[in-house]
Structure formats: structure tokens, C-alpha cells
């Protein structure tokens, strides 16, 4: 959530920046400023009314001591009138504050100056590429056929148990999942991240804190009887550890990593783009989360991007990094880099990670702050990234490493898997 100070100091600049996200902010920014004026005017009137009431109440006591009951009674009547007037003002103030809060939650984060112009994914900028795209023979199979051939993943059984988008991993398929999770967590720990094992269900306050609510409630599984939400990413519970917390500057950056299952009610189109592991309702992911000083957060973002890049490189996958344009960014992000790996059998790029800096947007919702060297309390910056999401990594690993004899496991992953070949 943007701070009111950010909006009120330069509303025209805010409207201009929101336009890069293709968000027309003129009307809502004007409503926010108008509501804030009402709030300030009401607060001033209430303060004056309370001050007058307190002053008159003290005077009543003095008049009673002096035996001036008639004068005291007249002032009592005025105090009673003020009490009613102040109650009305308190109600108006409370409503103005609620309206202001509700309006602020509808405004997306401002994009960084580094965000390119553009409306759709076609306008994203390719920052870097690496790895070698393998040349597969005409008999190459997509991962859903490989999974069936080697009995690694049973999509039909998942439909029987739960429904589409809930695969069952079996044998070496299940071991490959566990190997990737452990590999990603170990790499995160080696990079300085503290491992966290978070809950998979969160309350509405947590969903609000990281911006999933009220923006993405349609994508989240809601357990109505308990008013809990299954997490779409470990970002939500891990970042909310620091909700209503004041950190010390010397403890920054905070660096956490967590594995979790992730649950998303994404509605998708039909066809190969969503077939197999390409889009799931439940999937596994390792997430990295940082909380940092504003002046260092973009250096943290670079370090996080470098960390994710090292993972796809060690897995010997062809990769590219995209700088997302304004129209393709999330509601809460200030700058996002997407990682994609190439699926040789499908002949397409698959997104496997988003690494984002949210600046103070999430922190303002979370009231996540830190005490600087001068003892001043400031809003922190929050960042997170997938390091990595498993489904499309598995898809690319299976497809790109298929041979006539079976599927080769990358050298870095083989010790975790306990096997070097699937056949």
C-alpha cells in the first residue's frame, strides 16, 4: 500500500507512474486527497470540541466551589451539547479513516524507473540468456508422455483423488521432487538464507499484508469455516513473520528461505500450454524472502537474481531473464525479473521464477519497520523470489535430458536424487 505521504506530496507524479502499469489513477487519487481533507478537517473540529469540553468541565468544578450553581448548570448543558457534537465528529472521522484505508488498498504499487514501457508479455525485455538449447530428434516426447513411459507422474490418478491440476508423483518421480527441494534449500542456506518451515494456511490479515487480499482472493483456496486461506506461495507466511515488527538496522538484511506446497485456483485455457506440469493447482516451490533498508534493496534484488541464475545454470538448463514491462507486472511489485527455461520437446519457454522488489508497499501494509542508526523508525523494503518452482523445472529436465536409453539427471542434482539415470 502506498503511503498517504507519497500520494499527497506529488499526486501528479503518482498518477503518471501508475499509467506505466496501465492503471488510470486520476479519479482514485483525487478521491484519496478529498477524503484526506475531510479527515483532517474533521480531526481539527473534533480536537477543538474536545478541548472546549475539557476546559468547560474544569470550569464547572470551580463554579460549584464558588456556589454559582446556576452558571455551572448552564455550562453543563453546553458540555452535554459538545458531547453529542463530538460523538458525531468521531463517527465521521472513523468513517473517513476507513474510507481512506479502503481507497489506498485499491492503488497498485508504483513501478520503478527501471520498468520498461509496455502492456503485455510481448513487451518484456530480455535481459540475459544462457545455456544451450538441446537438439532433440523427431521422436522426442513431451514431459507428460515421458512421465507415463517411465511411471514418474500419474496425472489421471490425481484427477481421481482430487481433480485436474493435482498430480501424483511416483517412484523416481517422487524422489526427483524431493531431490530438487533439498537441493534448492541447501543452495539457499549456503547463500546465507535461514530456512523456515511455515504454515500452509494463513489468516486474512496475512493475505492482506503481502497483497494477495483483496487483489487475488479469487485465486486462493478459502477454508470458509475457519476463515483461512491455503497459501499460493511461502512468501505469504514468511513475510508475515515480520508483520507489526520493528527490526534493528544492524540485523538487516533479513534473509529467509522456505519450502512449501503452493495452492492456486488459477483458471486456464486448454491445450498444451496448460497440459501436464505446465499449470497446476498444487505444486512445490522454494521461496527466498528478504527484508532490507531502502537504500540497499536494489542491491539485494541483484543478489537474488544472481542466486536464481546460478540454480538454473547448475541444472544445465537453457535460460533467459526477462525484465517485466509495466503492464505485465503484479499489483504489488515495483520491479520484477522473470526466469524462463526452454522446453525442448514443447519448443517453448516456461516461466520458473519471479524475483521482485516491492519497496515499501508490502511493508506499509505489514507495518514492517526498522530502527535506523539515528533511532528513527522507517518502513523497510521487502523482496522475494522463487528459487525455484518445481513443476516446469521438472518438465524441462525430463524433456531436455531424454535419450534413447532414458533420462539423464544433471550432475549437480544426481547426489540428491540418488540416481544418475531414469530408465
Find where cell 527501471 sits.
Answer: 114
Q: What average pLDDT does this structure show over 380-395?
A: 98
pLDDT in tens, 50-60: 998 888 877 77
For the stretch 36-68, what's the b/e string if a residue is b when 16 or more beta carbons lie within 10 angstroms of its beta carbon? bebbeebeebbeebeeebeeeeeebeebeeeee
At residue 193, the pLDDT reads 98
Q: What is the pLDDT of residues 70-122, one digit of tens each?
A: 677 787 888 888 999 999 999 999 999 999 999 999 999 999 999 999 999 99
The pair phi, psi for residue 223, each rounded to 5°, is -95, 95
CATH node for 4-104: 1.10.287
Segment 212-229 shows an average pLDDT of 90
Q: What nine digits make up the cell of 397? A: 529436465
Residues contacting 215, CB < 8 A, separation 6+: 331, 332
pLDDT at res. 216: 75
Please count the other Cβ atoms lying within 10 Å of the Cβ belonging to residue 127: 12
Domains 4-104 and 121-422 share a fold: no
pLDDT of residue 57: 76
pLDDT at 269: 46
Region of residue 367 (phi > 0: left; psi between -120 and 50: alpha; otherwise: beta): left
Least confident of 61-75, 184-198, 244-258: 61-75
For residue 285, which of 324, 255, 311, 323 has the smallest C-alpha distance? 311
Q: What share of the chain is helix, strand, coil (3-state, %, to 5)?
A: 45, 20, 35
Instruction: Supply the pLDDT for residue 55.
Output: 85
The pLDDT tens digits for 258-303 are: 999 999 987 554 555 789 999 999 999 999 999 999 999 999 999 9
327-356 average pLDDT score: 97
What is the model's pTM? 0.93
pLDDT band at 68 (very low <50, low <70, confident <90, very high): low
Q: What average pLDDT score do residues 365-370 get?
A: 98
Average pLDDT, the chain: 94
- Model confidence band, residue 62 (pLDDT cutoffs 50, 70, 90): low
Domain boundaries, the chain: 4-104, 121-422
- φ, ψ of residue 152 to 5 degrees: the values are -100, -40
Residue 56 has what pLDDT?
84
- In the chain, what is the straight-line distance between the N-terminal and C-terminal CA atoms, in Å? 51
- Around Cβ 151, how many Cβ atoms within 10 Å? 12
- Do 380 and 397 form a contact (C-beta atoms < 8 A)? no
- Arch. (CATH architecture) of 121-422: 2-Layer Sandwich (3.30)
SS3 category, 65: helix
Amino acid at each position: 500500500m502506498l503511503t498517504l505521504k507519497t500520494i499527497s506530496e506529488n499526486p501528479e507524479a503518482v498518477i503518471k507512474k501508475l499509467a506505466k502499469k496501465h492503471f488510470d489513477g486520476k479519479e482514485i487519487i483525487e478521491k484519496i486527497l478529498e477524503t484526506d481533507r475531510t479527515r483532517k478537517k474533521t480531526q481539527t473540529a473534533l480536537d477543538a470540541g474536545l478541548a472546549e469540553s475539557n476546559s468547560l468541565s474544569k470550569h464547572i468544578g470551580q463554579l460549584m466551589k464558588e456556589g454559582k450553581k446556576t452558571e455551572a448548570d448552564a455550562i453543563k448543558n453546553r458540555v452535554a451539547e459538545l458531547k453529542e457534537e463530538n460523538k458525531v465528529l468521531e463517527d465521521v472521522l472513523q468513517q473517513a479513516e476507513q474510507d481512506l484505508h479502503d481507497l489506498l488498498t485499491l492503488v497498485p504499487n508504483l513501478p520503478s524507473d527501471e520498468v520498461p514501457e509496455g502492456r503485455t508479455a510481448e513487451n518484456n525485455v530480455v535481459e540475459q540468456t544462457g545455456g544451450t538449447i538441446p537438439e532433440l530428434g523427431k521422436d522426442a516426447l513431451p514431459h507428460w508422455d515421458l512421465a507415463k513411459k517411465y511411471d514418474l507422474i500419474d496425472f489421471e490418478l490425481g484427477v481421481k483423488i482430487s481433480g485436474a491440476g493435482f498430480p501424483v508423483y511416483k517412484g523416481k518421480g517422487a524422489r526427483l521432487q524431493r531431490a530438487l527441494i533439498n537441493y534448492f534449500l541447501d543452495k539457499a542456506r549456503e547463500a546465507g538464507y535461514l530456512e523456515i518451515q511455515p504454515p500452509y494456511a494463513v489468516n486474512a490479515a496475512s493475505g492482506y499484508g503481502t497483497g494477495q487480499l483483496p487483489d487475488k482472493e479469487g485465486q486462493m483456496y478459502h477454508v470458509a469455516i475457519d476463515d483461512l486461506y491455503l497459501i499460493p506461495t511461502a512468501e505469504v507466511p514468511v513475510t508475515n513473520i515480520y508483520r507489526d515488527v520493528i527490526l534493528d538496522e544492524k540485523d538487516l538484511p533479513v534473509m529467509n528461505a522456505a519450502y512449501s506446497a503452493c495452492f492456486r485456483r488459477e483458471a486456464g485455457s486448454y491445450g498444451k500450454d496448460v497440459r501436464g506440469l505446465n499449470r497446476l493447482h498444487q505444486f512445490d516451490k522454494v521461496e527466498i524472502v528478504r527484508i532490507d533498508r531502502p537504500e540497499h534493496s536494489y542491491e539485494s534484488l541483484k543478489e537474488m537474481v544472481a542466486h536464481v541464475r546460478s540454480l538454473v545454470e547448475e541444472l544445465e538448463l537453457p535460460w533467459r531473464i526477462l525484465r517485466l514491462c509495466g503492464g505485465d507486472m503484479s499489483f504489488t511489485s515495483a520491479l520484477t525479473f522473470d526466469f524462463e527455461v526452454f522446453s525442448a520437446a514443447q519448443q517453448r519457454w516456461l516461466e520458473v521464477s519471479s524475483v521482485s522488489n516491492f519497496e515499501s508497499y508490502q511493508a506499509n501494509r505489514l507495518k514492517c519497520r526498522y530502527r535506523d542508526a539515528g533511532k528513527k523508525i522507517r518502513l523497510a523494503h521487502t523482496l522475494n523470489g522463487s528459487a525455484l518452482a518445481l513443476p516446469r523445472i521438472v518438465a524441462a529436465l525430463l524433456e531436455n535430458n531424454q535419450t534413447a536409453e532414458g533420462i539423464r539427471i544433471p550432475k549437480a542434482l544426481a547426489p540428491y536424487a540418488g540416481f544418475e539415470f531414469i530408465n
